Amino acid sequence: QKEVEQNSGPLSVPEGAIASLNCTYSDRGSQSFFWYRQYSGKSPELIMSIYSNGDKEDGRFTAQLNKASQYVSLLIRDSQPSDSATYLCAVKPTSGTYKYIFGTGTRLKVLA
Amino acid sequence: GAVVSQHPSRVICKSGTSVKIECRSLDFQATTMFWYRQFPKQSLMLMATSNEGSKATYEQGVEKDKFLINHASLTLSTLTVTSAHPEDSSFYICSARAGGTSPNIQYFGAGTRLSVL
């Protein structure tokens, strides 16, 4: 059974701090990794995609991928109350389909 | 990013009626679309994968005769909840896979909140 695991949280950080969200996956051959943000009552919104080992930065967001450790993370710098949401990690496994395996999500609370 | 439009955003219906939900990719062709269901405070659950011009592939435990999926064109997929009952009340979300240089990215519609009375 291919799995993606996240700590459900809530992860509480003060405004202006760095929020670190983590995700591990079981399918060693996975090639595509995604972070989505989901506000309460809304649908997921793509934040970052990452395909290669290392860091990928986009504004206040940095995704980090370590395929050897089967670990992907998302850092949010200068966290704002508006960042408070559930962050979903998604992995496309090596099977022939295009469907994702989603983690259960980490709820982030940024305290003003 | 690519835009996926989903309608209606909210449906309230009586038990026993059927409800159709539309999912459109507005600025790209979506060879594959996905339908998810999400209950309160739970994660997304994939219901089915829909490929244009072919039958949908349903996940284990999802009744294909109850959740009818049609993907007649590269920009439109529909989900029909037949003979809806209160236990079908949920948040239904579609996504579409964009091809090209980012073939694995799924873009989500805004979701449809279904309430069956």
Tens digit of each residue's pLDDT (9 = 90 or more) over B87-102? 999 999 999 997 766 6
Determine which of A6, A99, A104, A106 to mutate to test the interface with B (most B C-beta atoms within 10 Å). Answer: A99
Helix (H, G, I), strand (E, B) or coil at B87: helix
Chain A interface residues (partner B, CB cutoff 8 A): 31-32, 34, 36, 41-46, 49, 88, 90, 92, 97-100, 102-105
φ/ψ of residue B87, rounded to 5: -70, -10
Helix (H, G, I), strand (E, B) or coil at A73: strand
Chain B interface residues (partner A, CB cutoff 8 A): 1, 6, 32, 34, 43-44, 46, 49, 57, 91, 93, 97, 102-111
Reported confidence tier of residue B1, pLDDT bands at 50, 70, 90: low
The predicted structure's pLDDT at residue B117: 95
Nearest CA in chain B to A45: B108
Of B29 and B83, the structure prediction assigns the larger pLDDT to B83
B17-53 tens-digit pLDDT: 999 999 999 988 888 999 999 998 888 999 999 988 8
Q: Which residues of A39-61 are buried (b: 16+ CB within 10 A; e: fewer)?
A: eeeebbbbbbbbbeeeeeeeeeb
CB contact under 8 A, B44 and A44: yes
The answer to whether B5 and B71 are in contact (CB under 8 A) is: no
CB-side neighbour CA atoms (13 Å) of B101: 3
